[in-house]
Structure 1
Amino acid sequence: MYNRRKFIKLSAAGASVSLVSKNVVAKTLTAPQAGNLPIVISTWGFGVQANQEAWKTLVKGGRAVDAVEAGVKIPEADLNNHTVGRSGYPDRDGHVTLDACIMDDKGNCGSVAAMEYIAHPISIARLVMEKTPHVMLVGEGATQFAVEQGFKREKLLLPSSEKAWKEWLKKAEYKPVINIENKKGLPGNEYNHDTIGMLAIDAQGNISGACTTSGMAFKMHGRVGDSPIIGAGLYVDNEVGGATATGVGEEVIRNVGSFLVVELMRQGYTPEAACKEAVMRIVKKKPEIAKEIQVGFLAINKKGEYGAFALQKGFNFAVCNNTSQDLLIDGKCYY
C-alpha cells in the first residue's frame, strides 16, 4: 500500500539523488580556479587594464566596491572604446546615452539608465546608491542629479562617433554583430554594442560588482538593455558570489540572467556550470534568436572560483589576482 511514510522516504531519496547528480554535473563541466584573495575579473579584453586599475585598490586592502568603480572608469574614459562611456556610439537620433549599475557586499545597489552628458555613469550609479533612497534614476533626472552632485555636463558625441552615425544613417539598418568589441574597422552599419562587467572580492572576502555601457549603437532613443538592471546585467550576494552579463541585453533581461547565475551557485553549481545553465535557458526559449546573437555570463563564487560561458565563440574575460595581473581567458561557448 502506498502510504504517507513510504511517500516521504521516496521523496527524500529522490531529492538526495538529484542533489548528487547536479553536483556531479557541475564538477564535470569545469575545474574551478580557486585563487588567493583578493581577485578581480571582468568581461572582454579591455577588462585587463580595468582590472589593473581595480587591483591598485584591492592590493592595498581596500573595499571591493571602491575597486570596481575605479576599474570600470578606465574603459568609460577610453576615447577608443565606442561601446562604453564617453566615446560610445549614439542612438539612431544622435544621442549618446549611458547606462551603469553597481552593487556592494551589503546588498546596496544603484543604477542610472539612458543618461546623457555625463562621462562616468558608474560614479553616478554609486551616488544613487549612497545618497538617495532609490535604486535607479533615468534620463534627464539622472543627468540633473549628477550635475547637482558636482559632475560636469558635457557633449559626449565625439567627431569619430558622429561620423559613424552619419554613415549608418545612409541605410539606417540595424544588424547585430557578434563580439563587436573584438572587431576593428567595421563599416558604419555594422557597429553594435557591448559592456564591461566587473566582479571583485577584497582581502576581507567581500564581493562587489559594476557594469557600464553605452548600449547598442544606433538603438531606438530610450532603449535600455540589461546593463543597468540589478539582477539582469549584474547581481551580487555576499554569501554566495556575483555574476555579470554581456551581449544582447534583451535576452538577458528576459531570463533575469545574473540573478539566475547567482541562485544556481547557491544551489551548488560551479560558476562556469551556472553560467552555462543561464545560456541554455536562452537557447531553449529562443533557439532561432540564440543562433544570431551573443550573450555571455561571467561569475565568481565566495571562494574566489570563477567561470564563464557564452552563446558564441569569441567571448573572453580578464582575471587579476596575486598570481597574474593581465590574464585573458577564452570563455567556453554553446555554438
Structure 2
Amino acid sequence: MKSRRDFIRIAAISSATAFVGKILANPTENLKFPKTNFNAPGPMVVSTWEHGIEANRAAWKILSNGGMAIDAVEKGVKVTESDPLITSVGLGGLPDRDGKVTLDACIMDHQSNCGAVAFLENIENPISVARKVMENTPHVMLVGKGAQDFALESGFKKVNLLTENAKKEWEAWKMSSKYKSVINIENHDTIGMLAIDGNGNLAGACTTSGMAYKMHGRVGDSPIIGAGLFVDNEIGAACATGMGEAVIRIAGSSIVVELMRQGHSPQKACEEAVKRIIQKHKNLENLQVGFLAINKSGEVGAFSVYEGFNYAVTSRDIDILKNAKYVKKLVE
C-alpha cells in the first residue's frame, strides 16, 4: 500500500491582484490574452480513495500538456474502471445479489454539459459512454439495455465484467448472507474525480459498480448529476462517495457547490453537507458518506461521516494521498 503523506497546501500567487489591476487599468490588454487565463490557479486534479493516485497520474498527463479538464477526468477514471483488482468500479466490480455486474457513471464539463449511464452491463468504461451521451444525444441519462444498445452502436465492445475473483467473493457471500445485501463501511469505494485545467475550467467524473450484492436494478448517487457529482464553472465542483441513498436525499454534491457559492471554503462546504447527512438519518451505523470539493482558486476540501475516507491530489508540486477529516471514529 502506498504511504499517506501529509497534505501540502497550495500557495496563492501573490502577484495575481496586481496583474488583474493592470488589465483593468488598460482594457486594450484584454485583446492579448484569453479571458479564461485570468487568475487561473494552474492545473490540478483530485479524486476519491487510494485508487485515485494512479487515476490522477493519467489525468495529469493531459493537464500538464495543456489539455482540457473534461479529457483529463475521463482518462483518469478509465484507469480505475479497467483495473480488475478494484472491486468497486468497472471491470472486477463486485456484482449485485444475482451475480450481475452493473455500472453507473456520469461526467460534467465547464459549460454544464453532462451525461450519464446507469444499470449498464457488459461495457468496461461507462464513463466514456456517459460522455457519448453528453456529446451525441439530446439526453442526460441512458439506463439499462438502452444504455448498452447505445454503447454498442457507438463502437464499444461487450466485455464480461465478472472476474473470477469477484465471482468467488459473490459465491462466498451467498453461503452466509441469506440473500440480503450487506451495507458496510468498506462497501462504497466509488471514484469521483475533479479537475481544473490551465484555462481555469473545471470538469468532473464519477463512476462505480455500486453497492456490492445490491438488489438487481439498484442505482445509487454516482450517475446522478447534483448528487454524486456537480460542476459549476463560476464556483467550483464536488463529488460524493459512500452510501448513495443518503447522498441522494440531500442532493449532496450540488449542496456542496451551492455552499461554496454562498462563500464557504471547500472544506467548510463539505463539512456542512456531512452535517446534513447526519441530521437526516437517525441510525448512522455503517453509514459512510464522504464529499470532496475544489473551488476556482484551487482550494480543496474533504470530509466524511466516519474516519477512513482519503483522497488523492496531483498538481505541478503535489502528488499525495490525504486522509479526510471526519465526525466519527469506526470504534468509539
- For residue 289 of structure 2, the aligned residue among 289, 292, 295 is 295
SS at match of 2:53: helix
Question: Which residue number corresponds to residue 120 of structure 2?
Answer: 115
SS at match of 2:170: helix
SS at match of 2:156: coil
- How big is each residue's C-alpha offset from its partner over 1:130-165, in whole Å with a ceiling of 9 and x where there is no partner? 000000000010000000001101221111111111
SS at match of 1:125: helix
SS at match of 1:87: coil
In the alignment, the residues of structure 1 paired with residue 230 and residue 49 of structure 2 have an alpha-carbon distance, to the nearest angstrom, of: 18
- For residue 154 of structure 1, the aligned residue among 159, 168, 171 is 159
Segments of 5+ residues of structure 1 without an aligned counterpart are 1-30, 181-191
- How big is each residue's C-alpha offset from its partner over 1:186-211, in whole Å with a ceiling of 9 and x where there is no partner? xxxxxx33200000000000000000
Matched letter for residue 175 of structure 1:
V
Matched letter for residue 177 of structure 1:
N
Question: Which residue number corresponds to residue 196 of structure 1?
Answer: 191
In the alignment, the residues of structure 2 paired with residue 100 and residue 163 of structure 1 have an alpha-carbon distance, to the nearest angstrom, of: 25
The alignment status of 1:252 with 2:239, answered yes or no, reads: no
In the alignment, the residues of structure 1 paired with residue 297 and residue 282 of structure 2 have an alpha-carbon distance, to the nearest angstrom, of: 34
% same residue:
59
Matched letter for residue 222 of structure 1:
G
Return the TM-score normalized by structure 1. Answer: 0.85
Question: Which residue number corresponds to residue 175 of structure 1?
Answer: 182
CA-based RMSD? 1.3
The alignment status of 1:330 with 2:323, answered yes or no, reads: yes
Question: Which residue number corresponds to residue 189 of structure 1?
Answer: none
Does the 8 Å CA contact 1:57/1:66 hold for their aligned counterparts? yes
Relative to structure 2, which stretch is displaced further, 271-280 or 291-300?
291-300
- For residue 46 of structure 1, the aligned residue among 31, 51, 59 is 51
Matched letter for residue 176 of structure 1:
I
Matched residue pairs, number?
291
In the alignment, the residues of structure 2 paired with residue 151 and residue 174 of structure 1 have an alpha-carbon distance, to the nearest angstrom, of: 31
In the alignment, the residues of structure 2 paired with residue 252 and residue 32 of structure 1 have an alpha-carbon distance, to the nearest angstrom, of: 28
- How big is each residue's C-alpha offset from its partner over 1:61-117, in whole Å with a ceiling of 9 and x where there is no partner? 000000000000011011100000111011011110000000000000000000001
In the alignment, the residues of structure 2 paired with residue 286 and residue 196 of structure 1 have an alpha-carbon distance, to the nearest angstrom, of: 24
Runs of 4+ off more than 6 Å: none
In the alignment, the residues of structure 2 paired with residue 276 and residue 122 of structure 1 have an alpha-carbon distance, to the nearest angstrom, of: 28
More helix, by proportion: 1
Matched letter for residue 132 of structure 1:
T
Return the TM-score normalized by structure 2. Answer: 0.86
In the alignment, the residues of structure 2 paired with residue 287 and residue 314 of structure 1 have an alpha-carbon distance, to the nearest angstrom, of: 21
Question: Which residue number corresponds to residue 280 of structure 1?
Answer: 275
Segments of 5+ residues of structure 2 without an aligned counterpart are 1-7, 13-40
In the alignment, the residues of structure 2 paired with residue 275 and residue 287 of structure 1 have an alpha-carbon distance, to the nearest angstrom, of: 20
Does the 8 Å CA contact 1:45/1:318 hold for their aligned counterparts? yes
In the alignment, the residues of structure 1 paired with residue 174 and residue 239 of structure 2 have an alpha-carbon distance, to the nearest angstrom, of: 32
SS at match of 2:91: helix
Offset at residue 34 of structure 1 (A): 5.2
In the alignment, the residues of structure 2 paired with residue 50 and residue 294 of structure 1 have an alpha-carbon distance, to the nearest angstrom, of: 22
